[in-house]
Amino acid sequence: MALLAAGGPSSPRKGQDVGKPRMQATAFDRARGLMGTQSGAVLRARVLGVVESLLCLLLFLIHGLLLVLLTTRGEGVISRRIAAEFPSWVESRVVEATPIALSVEDAGLSPFVAANLDSDNAAHRLAARGVLFLLAHIPTLQNDLGCLATLLASGLGVFILILGVRSLRLGAVASAATEAASSLRRQLHRQMYRLGQSALPTEGTGPVANIFSREVNDVRDALQAELDSRWTVPVLLSGLLLTCLLTSWIPTIFIAALGGLAWIAARALDNASKARSTGAAHDLALSYTMLQEDLSLLRTVRVHGVENVDRDRFDEHVHRHRAADRRRLVIDGQSTNRLALLLGIAATLGLGILVHSVVVRGDAPASALLIMSAIRVAMPAVSNWIRSLGILRQGSRSASGISEYLEKAPELQQAVGAQFVPPMKQRISFENVTLHNARGRAILEGFSAEIPSGSRTAVMSLDEEAMHAVACLIPRLIDPRTGRVRIDGLDLREVTLESLRAQVGLVLQADLVFSDSVFANIALGDPAHDLPRVIEAAKIAHAHQFIQDLPHGYDTQIGPMGEYLSIDMQYRIGLARAILHDPSIVILEEPTSTLDDEIKPLLDDTVDRLAAHRTLVILPHRLSTIRRCDQVLVIHNGRLEVSGPPRDLHASSKLFRHLEYVEFNQFATGEIEAGQMNG
């Protein structure tokens, strides 16, 4: 029966979603519906689940016949009334004959048939006739040794078949569940396009990444657990219960009722224990916090010379921590003991019922052993089903979170009748723009500024989010909460996103390269960009030389699964991409990391070439870059504090000079140390 105990994991059926919050149930139902795209895999999983359960029941019946052989040892008495129904070979097993009965030895399963063929129980008579049919057609069952070998070989064959069916079923379950998870991830990815606030690089994708990974995995695990046993466990448990009822219905009913009562009592004990354990864990965490506080204040204690007082406090906190820890361990131990006592009582009563049925009622010992084996087989399935309830609850909660994210209204909407925006000829205007981040903090507040066409404009601020907000408003990756952004007088909300973004090139240090070939990173899959054009753009960006030195040139895979590129190499690939895109507006964020002296002139030359007949908006990280700009926009507390040529601002603006020192002074930032300027 150890073979049958490996009957596979189980999980709640669809109808068991009742009692969950309606929103969670509805969200999980939608996630379950995604498995419909793998209807073939779902159907295979269901059919194979039923087949596996039936094979497990067959293996259980073979085990039951082995128990019969074990208890009878092939010896029995055949009544003269039914002797004529036995095959003729039984006569060779007769060791004693009387007018009313025949005693047989080495007769395999014949004693089982003799004991049940004229039974008052119709199920027993049916089972006896089935075994009698096997005895008549399978010669190896006609003696004890042959019967033992046949049953063992049959059991092993069925077990191997079970493993094969299970492998196919688990593959089908995995296909359906993973396809549903992939579909959810595709929906999340598309929703990220629609939601604008995640465009701010400083906000990152942390919350979405949690949904994308952990919560989708929770839903996948719940779908897998449900589909894994939805058609397996009910068939298996129903078959076991039916077999036990047909074998001996009175003890089966009593034991089933006893198991139900034990389950209810165990749940009540578990809930009470969890409440006490939670309180103890809270006290333990609080005392541990106090210990950490004592350790963190050692410097203050030593400076003020209160070591004696601090030792007393620490000893008191150690005592509280020990008491709380002991209470938690005692509670956990008592819970385990109570549960063990409950199971022990239930097992004792169940065993007593089975022994009573054999000793007092005269049931066959094999019947009691069969019921005990059925309980042993059912316990892992029930245990896995209980475990899967938690998986399903977590999956329902995660499905609700995913659904909530997918149902968010997009912040970016394209107006009906939106017009085409031509290449910029005059200016970009920010008119009283207010923008909040995802946490509700005002990034821009009443921000107004102009960027003339063909100019090179630097955006400076102590607030990195404010700088990125200006950069992301231009291609309309985000919309202002209030105010307007215009290009040549056209409100960006009134132009098509396609025509607007065709005019903008974006090179941000958080989004420089993809895990793909160098060619794909520059061309971005646009079939209009062939290799010669990509090479030409790379040459302008001073990237062609190092690309040629890569193992496979432009076909070299870069990123975590390929070749490592330094930040300046990644930046030059981003510049080449912008050059190939040929926009009228280019937004550049310089790398924050220190660049080699021989690289800086190459980047400056690329930016000079890129600036020809274009408008450049730069988020600078080098002082020389600021000085090469036509104007600087200085943002403070979300507003435009001052703007103008860098030379004028250096003379007139304290804030500009402060930013120069804090953000760009090499001594202040630690890029160089005193004495390194010599030579």
Mean pLDDT confidence for 51-66? 90
CA distance readout (Å), 127 to 220, 367, 443? 43, 13, 80
Mean pLDDT confidence for 521-539? 90
3-state SS assignment for residue 478: coil
Amino acid at 123: A
Q: Write 665-671 long-range contacts (CB < 8 A, 24+).
A: 665/623, 671/594
Mean pLDDT confidence for 426-445? 89
pLDDT of residue 159: 94
Q: Which residues pair with 491 in a beta bridge?
A: 486
* Bridge-based pairing state of the strands 585-589 and 504-507: parallel
Q: Answer yes or no: is pLDDT of 53 > 70.
A: yes
pLDDT of residue 675: 41
φ, ψ at 531 (rounded to 5°): -60, -45
**CB of 83 closer than 8 Å to CB of 117:** no
Residues composing the chain: 679
Estimate to the nearest angstrom the gap between the alpha carbon of 532 and the chain centroid: 43
Q: Write 188-193 long-range contacts (CB < 8 A, 24+).
A: 188/212, 188/216, 188/402, 188/405, 188/406, 191/405, 191/406, 191/408
Mean pLDDT confidence for 473-487? 90
Q: Give per-residue pLDDT as tens, 12-51.
A: 333 344 444 455 667 777 777 777 666 788 888 889 999 9
Highest mean pLDDT range out of 8-12, 62-66, 389-393? 62-66
3-state SS assignment for residue 551: coil
Q: In the chain, pLDDT over 70 holds for what percent of residues? A: 90
What DSSP character marks residue 19? T
Residue 590's nearest CA partner among 618, 614, 623, 626 is 618
CA dihedral for 376, 378, 381, 382, sign (positive or negative): negative
**CB of 577 closer than 8 Å to CB of 610:** no
pLDDT of residue 640: 93
Nearest-5° angle of CA 521, CA 523, CA 528?
165
- Under the banding of pLDDT at 50, 70 and 90, the label for residue 666 is low
CA distance readout (Å), 449 to 427, 473, 495, 542, 634? 10, 13, 20, 33, 10
Rg (CA), the chain: 39
Task: State the virtual CA torsion across 259, 260, 262, 265 in degrees, nearest 10.
Answer: 170
Amino acid at 172: A
Q: Which residue has the tokens 């432009």?
A: 554
**CB of 110 closer than 8 Å to CB of 135:** yes
**CB of 401 closer than 8 Å to CB of 211:** yes
Q: Give per-residue pLDDT as tens, 137-181.
A: 888 888 889 889 999 999 999 999 999 999 999 998 888 888 888
Tally of CA atoms within 13 A in the half-sphere of 234 that contains its CB: 11
Mean pLDDT confidence for 52-66? 90
Q: Which residue has the tokens 């002074």?
A: 665
**CB of 323 closer than 8 Å to CB of 331:** no
3-state SS assignment for residue 467: helix
Mean pLDDT of the chain: 82
Q: Answer yes or no: is pLDDT of 10 > 50.
A: no
Q: Hey, how many other C-beta atoms are within 10 angstroms of the C-beta on 200?
A: 20
Residue 396's nearest CA partner among 68, 12, 678, 48 is 12
φ, ψ at 617 (rounded to 5°): -115, 120
φ, ψ at 448 (rounded to 5°): -135, 135
Q: Give per-residue pLDDT as tens, 356-394.
A: 777 777 677 777 777 788 888 888 877 777 777 778 888
Mean pLDDT confidence for 296-312? 76
Provide CB contacts within 8 A for 342, sequence distance 6+.
Answer: 262, 265, 266, 269
φ, ψ at 414 (rounded to 5°): -90, 125
Tokens (6 digits) for 200 = 């701010």
CA distance readout (Å), 472 to 599, 629, 679? 27, 20, 42
Dist CA 586 CA 595 (whole Å): 22
Of 69 and 340, more confident: 69
Q: Answer yes or no: is pLDDT of 205 > 70.
A: no
Residue 538's nearest CA partner among 549, 554, 552, 556 is 554
Burial of 455 (0-12, 13-18, 19+ CB in 10 A): middle
Q: Give per-residue pLDDT as tens, 553-573.
A: 999 998 877 889 999 999 999
Q: Answer yes or no: is pLDDT of 203 > 70.
A: no
DSSP state string for 382-430 = HHHHHHHHHHHHHHHHHHHHHHHHHTSPPS--PPTTPBP-PPPSSEEEE
Dist CA 296 CA 479 (whole Å): 45
Give the ranges where 117-143 is alpha helix by DSSP (H): 122-137
pLDDT of residue 456: 94
- Under the banding of pLDDT at 50, 70 and 90, the label for residue 594 is confident
Dist CA 402 CA 212 (whole Å): 8
Dist CA 340 CA 346 (whole Å): 10
Dist CA 579 CA 13 (whole Å): 57
H helix or E strand, kind and range, residue 326: helix 307-359
